[in-house]
């Protein structure tokens, strides 16, 4: 050993480059990185916020904890089945002076009633004081928006480099990618 | 002769008279804090030397009044002090001085203290007070009444006043008050003096003038203790802990609750001691000496302040306000020592010893400046320069890329980087609104920053004279900011000289920029400089209440491109919007002070917008602005400026209606439309954008801002071919800047070039994308975004120049992960972490 440390044989290097190239070529543009998010979530709901509510809970060390729950009516991202999901995230205000801002919450405007959202969520038991439910994955990082284009396509809006969905993608492409990823994830398990 | 029924009634009458005397005196002193009747050149607050002279003269007049009042003050000192405190506090109701209750108090309330004072002066002149008092010997038995003995009191009082002045400057700064908004602090100080007298003075078994110097010496020494307290509060954690005591937080700095509590904590010790001394004074000469001493101390304070030279960036060699406190203790010690030397009473040795001790201690005590930085900012402020002058504490802080922001006592004198668009719009609107002729010579009320100089130069201005209440510090501040970067003539002028030159017609425009350091704005604010021949435009600070302010017949407006806009007062030949006849809002000064500082601009602008929209001459644009302003709400500090803006659908409908139906929009109206479009683009609300912008673009073909927005919509819809076609039309159109057609589209406009490059990248044409950025990259070699996108396109095209460009840029931005990756030939790198997450593009 010693002399060989850090030196990759040319054949293995070439094989690795080819493998990476094949993987990149096989991956649909813009949606490959959602796999990490999917692995941390129970699912995604694509729909419209129809209700929003802020609740207060007693904090263990005194004071209050505030959580916002947005009710999203739409379809399951993987199956396309209709569903309504209550997704909770930290922060929110019950009145003008009672509430708290959270650095991990999505912008308030992004979850107002009527907003078109794609939320990745997962089940959490005992969020606060025995309250359990679906929470938004990765704080604001699990929230995306979508719109209907003039050509009638549903476009999910990517949020740039570093985001789970970096670039805009058609829902049909994203749905296929998610199904594939979930299938691979199931086989891995 | 007037009959006095019994001693009790006589005593009550004495108390009442003394209280009235105090009320008149306190009311007078509170109102003589600054020269009356300011004009537009005083927007940035009064000249500190003039203000100090005014206050000193008022205190000297007060001393004469007390002497003239004869034995009345010594018979009821408690009532006199309590009355004085009430008189000072009455200024809170005063609409003339920008009092806190402007808009709430009845207008006649302002006249009450003056009437009382006039009545008392008249009574004194007629001898009406003295006969009502039975003769009684001074209660201080020892020692002859001698003016010489008052010399020590006078000197010690000057020292105490100097110390209190230094502490007050710090308290105002900590409480985020402007220099003119010290009514609240004055009321707290007067109340503490009265409480000191009533509690400790009355409890003292043996009153007497000989005790006054000792108490004043104590006040001076306690000033040093208070200075240590103030230094503790100036630390962010100390300030937050202090706020928690009154169930507040640091973001409430600037509200009466926090401001009054800061003043209370900083002033309590020396003020209680000084109040006790005032209560114990029995000779009119002693009380008058105290007042004269205070007059001397306050008048001299600005001249005694240690000012750091400009090369000492943090001012470590000049203690500023803290130095005044130390000097005050030293002078108080000298006064007490003099008194001990003259006064034959017992205890003179002890007083002399303590005096010497305080003097030596003050001389040896290492006093450092007490810098006050924003404890309410989310991230610690790291100033480039911090120094104190008689005008206040100046900080120069970095903002944005290589820009600097200046504050005076924590109030902004220049905009942050993100506020520059609004600043540019205001300057442009000013020059466009000021008459028909060219604007070459400007009198600027405010700071000439390099950004302002460049904008004004681009608008054709060649000469800018500058003035402000803090004009003496202006050359120092400008030197720290560096060269203006534009060839402009002009000099720094005192307000008096500026007024003279403006009246002479030396300027084409008198322009007051909006400043957070603006003092109170009284209804009597004069909008006219000279004979009114020179157009005057003064931008109203956005966070000021509008209800009581003077509003000119014509308003100038400007928008920053994010649907936030500003109003300006105007005088002379100025074009703009007609002012509505109704008052511009109903938000009282008191309500405004209680509003969270970060919400003041929203509330005040909303009210003004609503009044303009309710005017018969209002247009759809105005109605939309009112709807938009009134829909705004408090937002999370973790959100960006764009995310914080609430979108009101009805407002957008109004604006669309206004734009579609009007082929000749004014620059302000076009600014509003472009702001609405920009907001929809940045929020990526594509259906809403199309619904809003498409009809307007059809009514106004070739509007670049709208075409670029619709190009973005095309890209969001994954239709880069449509985006390219739209861009090609825009660049090659009559107003376009394209240099060639077809595949070689190039434009010199930064935003268009970036959008064109993004479109070409979406079309998998990276080489063309790099070429599209060529003109802009040559013109703006330091533009990081342009360089980054060009390097990315070159690397995508396999051009080795991309890696070289990225490596050069990375040397200047060593934390930039994407540049690091591009320098290695890898695109989409998002972190320098050797073990990146799945989102990284490696």
Question: A101 at the B interface (CB within 8 A)?
Answer: yes
* Distance (Å, whole) CA B553 – CA B550: 10
- For residue B536, the SS3 value is strand
Nearest neighbour of B839 by CB, restricted to A36, A145, A147: A36
Contact status, residue A120 vs residue A38, Cβ threshold 8 Å? yes
H or E segment to which residue A89 belongs: strand A82-90
From B349, B364, B379, give the residue that closes a domain. Answer: B364
Residue B735 and residue B674 share a domain: no
Are the beta carbons of A153 and B718 separated by less than 8 Å? Answer: yes
Residue B94, domain member (yes or no) = yes
Could you tell me how many residues make up chain B?
Answer: 842
Nearest-CB residue to A109 (from B637, B646, B841) = B646
CB burial of residue B73 (10 Å; 0-12, 13-18, 19+): buried
Whether residue B125 sits in one domain with residue B155: yes
Taking the Cβ of residue B682 and every Cβ of chain A, the question of whether any pair is shorter than 8 Å is answered with: no
Residues B770 and B815 in one domain: yes
Query: In which element (H, E) is residue B445 found?
Result: strand B441-445
Q: Is A73 strand, coil or helix?
A: strand
| Helix segments in B235-283, DSSP class H | 236-245, 256-280
Mean pLDDT of A127-137: 88
- Nearest residue to B160 via CA among B24, B290, B29: B290
pLDDT tens sequence across A98-127 = 888 888 899 999 999 999 999 999 999 888
Does the distance separating the beta carbons of B686 and A147 come in below 8 Å?
A: yes
Domain that includes residue B424, residue range:
395-609
The long-range contacts involving B690-696, CB below 8 angstroms and separated by at least 24 positions, are B690/A150, B692/B652, B692/B655, B692/B656, B695/B656, B695/B660, B696/B656, B696/B659, B696/B660
Residues of chain B positioned with their CB less than 8 A from the CB of A107: 636, 639-640, 643
* DSSP code per residue over B707-757: HHHHHHHHHHTT-HHHHHHHHHHHHHSTT---SS-GGG---S-HHHHHHHH
Compute how many other C-beta atoms are within 10 angstroms of the C-beta atom of residue A13: 11
- B499 belongs to a structural domain: yes
The secondary element (H helix, E strand) that includes residue B674 is: helix B667-683
Q: How many CB atoms lie within 10 A of CB B91?
A: 28
B352/B209 same-domain check = yes
Is B818 in contact with A35 (Cβ distance < 8 A)?
no
* Torsion angle of C-alpha atoms B270, B272, B273, B275, degrees rounded to 10: 120
Q: Are the CB atoms for B416 and B491 separated by under 8 Å?
A: no
Which is higher by pLDDT, A21 or B341?
B341
State whether B840 and A163 contact (CB < 8 Å). no
Distance CA B194, CA B275 (A): 6
Cα-flanking dihedrals φ and ψ of residue A94, to 5°?
-80, -40
Tell me, yes or no, whether B686 lies in a domain: yes
Burial B180-200 (b: 16+ CB within 10 A, else e): bbbbbbbbbbbbbbbbbbbeb
DSSP B581: S
B74 and B161 both lie in a single domain: yes
d(CA B161, CA B362): 16
At B108 the pLDDT is: 66
State residue B714's pLDDT score: 96
B462-494: string of b/e by CB count within 10 Å (b at 16+)?
Answer: bbbbbbbbbbbbbebbbebbeebebebebebbe
Go through chain A and tell me how many residues it has: 189
For strand B411-412 and strand B403-408, is the pairing parallel, antiparallel, or unpaired?
antiparallel
What pLDDT, on a 0 to 100 scale, did the predictor assign at position B23? 86
Do B546 and B417 belong to one domain?
A: yes
**pLDDT means per 10 residues in chain B (842 residues)?**
62 82 87 73 79 91 85 80 88 63 61 73 67 50 57 93 94 73 86 91 68 90 93 87 85 84 94 91 84 94 75 57 92 91 77 91 85 73 84 84 82 85 91 86 93 92 93 91 83 92 90 72 66 84 65 82 82 78 64 75 81 83 91 86 90 95 89 94 96 96 92 95 91 56 65 92 92 86 89 93 92 87 85 60 50
Compute the distance between CA of residue B395 and CA of residue B406 in angstroms, rounded to an integer: 6
Looking at the structure, do residues B676 and B527 belong to the same domain, yes or no? no
Q: Is B709 inside any structural domain?
A: no
In 3D space, the residue among B634, B563, B627 whose CA is nearest the CA of residue B598 turns out to be B634
Tokens standing for B773? 């950025």
Structural domain boundaries in chain A: 43-188
Q: What is the DSSP secondary structure assignment for residue A110, as one 8-state letter?
A: G
Nearest-CA neighbor of B555 among B592, B531, B584?
A: B584
Smallest CA–CA distance from A21 into chain B, residue: B842
Q: Does A62 touch chain B (CB under 8 A)?
A: no
Classify residue B760: in a domain, yes or no. yes
The CATH number linked to B737 is 1.25.40
Whether residues B75 and B104 fall in one domain: yes
Q: What is the pLDDT of residue B696?
A: 97
* Contacts B839 to A, Cβ<8 Å: 33, 36, 161-164, 166
What angle (nearest 5°) sits at the alpha carbon of residue B423, between those of residues B658 and B485? 140
B380 touching A, CB under 8 A?
no
Q: Does A187 touch chain B (CB under 8 A)?
A: no
Whether residue B161 sits in one domain with residue B23: yes
Query: Do B601 and B670 lie in a common domain?
Result: no
Give domain status of residue B375, yes or no. no
Query: What pLDDT score does B113 carry?
Result: 65
Distance of CA B820 to the CA centre of its chain: 42
- ipTM here: 0.81
Q: Would the pLDDT of A8 be above 50?
A: no
Closest CA to B760 of B779, B781, B745: B745
Rg (CA), chain B: 32
Classify strands B554-559 and B577-578 as parallel, antiparallel or unpaired.
antiparallel
CATH for B400: 3.40.50
Q: Distance (Å) from the C-alpha of residue A42 to the closest C-alpha of chain B?
A: 18
Measured CA to CA in angstroms, residue B384 lies from A59, B387, B408, B697 at distances of 41, 10, 14, 46
- Characterise B423 by phi-psi region: left (phi > 0), alpha (psi -120 to 50), beta (else): alpha
B756 is written with which tokens? 């064109």
B354 and B415 fall within a common domain: no
Task: Say what the pLDDT of residue B236 is.
Answer: 81
Do A36 and B838 make contact, defined as CB atoms within 8 angstroms? yes
Domain boundary among B342, B364, B386: B364
Q: Compare CB distances from B839 to A93, A155, A163 and report the shortest one's residue.
A: A163
Burial class (CB in 10 A: 0-12, 13-18, 19+), B735: exposed
CA atoms of B354 and B333, how far apart (whole Å): 8
C-alpha distance from A161 to closest chain B C-alpha (Å): 6
Q: Tokens 């543009």 map to which residue?
A: A29
**Pairing relationship of beta strands A169-170 and B385-389 according to DSSP bridges:** unpaired
Domains contained in chain B, number: 4
Same domain, B642 and B591: no
Contact B132, B13 (CB under 8 A): yes
């Amino acid at each position: 050993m010693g002399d060989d440390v850090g030196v990759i044989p040319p054949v293995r290097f070439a094989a690795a480059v080819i493998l990476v190239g094949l993987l990149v070529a096989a991956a649909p543009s813009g949606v490959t990185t959602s796999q990490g998010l999917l692995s941390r979530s129970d699912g995604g709901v694509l729909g419209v916020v129809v209700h929003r509510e802020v609740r207060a809970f007693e904090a263990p060390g005194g004071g209050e904890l505030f959580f916002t729950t947005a009710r999203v009516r739409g379809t399951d991202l993987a199956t396309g089945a209709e569903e309504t999901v209550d997704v909770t995230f930290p922060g929110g205000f019950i009145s003008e002076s009672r509430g708290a801002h959270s650095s991990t919450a999505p912008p308030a405007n992004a979850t107002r009633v009527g907003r078109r959202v794609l939320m990745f969520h997962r089940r959490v038991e005992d969020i606060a004081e025995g309250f359990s439910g679906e929470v938004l994955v990765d704080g604001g990082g699990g929230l995306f928006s979508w719109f209907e284009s003039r050509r009638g396509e549903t476009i999910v809006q990517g949020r740039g480099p570093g985001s789970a969905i970096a670039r805009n993608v058609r829902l049909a492409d994203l749905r296929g990618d998610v199904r594939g990823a979930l299938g691979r994830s199931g086989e891995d398990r | 002769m007037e009959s006095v029924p019994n001693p009790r009634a006589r005593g009550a009458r004495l108390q009442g008279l003394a209280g009235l005397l105090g009320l008149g005196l306190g009311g007078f002193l509170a109102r003589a804090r600054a020269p009356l009747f300011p004009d537009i050149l005083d927007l940035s607050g009064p000249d500190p030397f003039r203000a100090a002279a005014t206050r000193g003269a008022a205190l000297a007049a007060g001393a004469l009044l007390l002497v003239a009042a004869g034995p009345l003050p010594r018979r009821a000192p408690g009532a006199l002090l309590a009355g004085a405190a009430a008189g000072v506090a009455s200024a809170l109701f005063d609409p003339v001085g920008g009092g806190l209750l402007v808009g709430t108090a009845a207008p006649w309330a302002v006249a009450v203290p003056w009437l009382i004072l006039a009545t008392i002066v008249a009574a004194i002149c007629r001898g009406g007070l003295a006969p009502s008092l039975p003769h009684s010997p001074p209660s201080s038995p020892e020692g002859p009444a001698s003016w010489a003995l008052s010399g020590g009191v006078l000197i010690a009082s000057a020292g105490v006043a100097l110390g209190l002045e230094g502490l007050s400057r710090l308290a105002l700064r900590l409480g985020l008050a402007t220099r003119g908004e010290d009514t609240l602090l004055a009321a707290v100080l007067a109340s503490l003096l009265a409480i000191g007298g009533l509690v400790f003075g009355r409890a003292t078994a043996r009153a007497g003038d000989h005790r006054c110097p000792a108490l004043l010496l104590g006040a001076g020494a306690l000033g040093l203790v208070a200075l240590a307290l103030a230094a503790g509060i100036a630390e962010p954690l100390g300030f937050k802990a202090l706020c928690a005591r009154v169930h507040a937080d640091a973001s409430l700095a600037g509200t009466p609750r926090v401001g009054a509590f800061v003043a209370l904590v900083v002033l309590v010790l020396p003020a209680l001691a000084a109040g006790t001394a005032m209560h114990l004074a029995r000779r009119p000469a002693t009380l008058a000496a105290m007042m004269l001493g205070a007059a001397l101390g306050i008048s001299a304070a600005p001249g005694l302040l240690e000012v750091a030279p400009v090369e000492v960036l943090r001012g470590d060699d000049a203690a500023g306000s803290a130095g005044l406190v130390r000097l005050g203790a030293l002078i108080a010690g000298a006064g007490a020592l003099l008194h001990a030397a003259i006064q034959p009473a017992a205890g003179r040795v002890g007083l002399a010893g303590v005096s010497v001790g305080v003097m030596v201690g003050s001389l040896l005590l290492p006093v450092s400046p007490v810098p006050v930085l924003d404890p309410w900012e989310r991230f610690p402020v790291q100033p480039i320069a911090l120094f104190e002058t008689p005008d206040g504490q100046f900080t120069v802080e970095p903002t944005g890329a290589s820009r600097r922001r200046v504050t005076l006592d924590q109030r902004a004198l220049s905009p942050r980087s993100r506020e520059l668009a609004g600043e540019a719009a205001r300057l442009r609107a000013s020059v466009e609104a000021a008459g028909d002729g060219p604007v070459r010579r400007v009198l600027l009320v405010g700071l000439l920053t390099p950004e302002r100089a460049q904008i004004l130069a681009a608008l054709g201005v060649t000469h800018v004279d500058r003035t402000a209440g803090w004009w003496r510090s202006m050359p120092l501040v400008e030197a720290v900011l560096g060269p203006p970067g534009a060839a402009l003539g002009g000099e720094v002028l005192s307000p008096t000289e500026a007024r003279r030159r403006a009246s002479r017609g030396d300027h084409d425009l008198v322009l007051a920029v909006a400043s957070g350091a603006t003092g109170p704005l009284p209804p009597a604010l004069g909008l006219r400089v000279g004979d009114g021949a020179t157009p005057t435009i003064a931008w109203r600070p956005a966070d000021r209440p509008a209800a009581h302010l003077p509003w000119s017949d014509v308003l100038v407006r400007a928008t920053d491109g994010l649907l936030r806009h500003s109003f300006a007062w105007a005088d002379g030949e100025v074009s703009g919007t007609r002012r509505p006849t109704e008052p511009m809002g109903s938000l009282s000064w008191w309500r405004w002070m209680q509003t969270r500082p970060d919400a003041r601009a929203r509330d005040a602008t909303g009210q003004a917008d609503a009044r303009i929209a309710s005017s018969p001459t209002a247009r759809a644009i105005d109605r939309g602005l009112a709807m938009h302003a009134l829909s705004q709400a408090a937002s999370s500090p973790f959100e960006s400026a764009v995310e914080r803006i609430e979108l009101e659908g009805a407002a957008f409908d109004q604006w669309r209606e206004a734009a579609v139906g009007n082929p000749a929009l004014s620059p302000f109206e076009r600014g509003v439309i472009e702001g609405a479009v920009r907001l929809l683009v940045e929020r990526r609300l594509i259906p809403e954008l199309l619904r809003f912008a498409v009809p307007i673009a059809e009514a106004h073909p070739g509007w670049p801002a709208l075409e670029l927005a619709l190009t973005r919509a095309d890209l969001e819809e994954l239709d880069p071919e449509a985006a390219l076609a739209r861009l090609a039309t825009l660049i090659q159109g009559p107003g376009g800047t394209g240099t060639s057609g077809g595949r070689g589209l190039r434009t010199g406009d930064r935003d268009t070039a970036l959008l064109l490059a993004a479109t070409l990248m979406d079309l998998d044409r990276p080489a063309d994308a790099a070429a599209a950025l060529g003109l802009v990259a040559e013109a703006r070699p330091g533009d990081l975004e342009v360089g980054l996108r060009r390097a990315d396109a070159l690397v995508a095209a396999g051009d080795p120049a991309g890696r070289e460009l990225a490596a050069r840029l990375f040397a200047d931005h060593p934390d930039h992960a994407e540049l690091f990756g591009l320098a290695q030939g890898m695109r989409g790198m998002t972190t320098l972490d050797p073990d990146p997450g799945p989102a990284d593009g490696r």
